[in-house]
Chain A
């Protein structure tokens, strides 16, 4: 079966510290992968997407970066966190079906203090 894993579930980090969030997908190959961020009570903002290894497209200029070192691994990083980086980070994978349904990971709730 196809599954998506995201960790950690929660994270509290001081301003200026680095960040690394990891997302892996099982049961598929060459998936389209996405990182979204959701502020409290708000919609989902697309941060990055990747259609293959080493291929990263950035949607919003910001303090974050993404990498795809392996086919089924997508990493979100920051060298120095800002208070405004707080939010709910979601990794998503577009399935192979024609209904364009995304499967989301369980999310990481990041609080920068």
Chain B
């Protein structure tokens, strides 16, 4: 099975940098994805790490270390619109329908 743990809540000020961590325990693992979900909305895909290291997409970056069973999402130049919940998700090894297992989720609050 797979379990992914995240801090429940993170608060930061506008313009700052924030890191949302994801630690996992899994018996089979291919990569780590990140999703953003605003209140009342559906999750939207942000990034994917298939290899160890850093992936950068604009203001967002994501990092994976398989040896440490750890990943994080880094948000730079925070904006009020970044206030949302963020989920990491484990991508399983090939087969099994490629079904994602989501983390517990982190609610990010951006303040002025």
Contact = CB atoms under 8 A, between A and B. Distances in A.
Contacts of B31: 100
Interface stretch (B12-20, B69-77, B94-102): B94-102
B97 A104 contact: no
Interface residues of B, number: 24
A43 B42 contact: no
- Name the prevailing secondary structure of the A interface residues: strand
B23 interface: no
Interface of B: 30-31, 33, 35, 41-45, 47-48, 50, 87, 89, 91, 97-105
Interface of A: 32, 34, 36, 42-44, 46, 49-51, 57, 59, 90, 94, 98-107
Query: Which 10 A-B residue pairs are closest in the complex by CB-CB distance?
Result: A101-B45, A99-B48, A104-B42, A44-B102, A49-B97, A100-B91, A43-B105, A107-B42, A49-B99, A43-B102
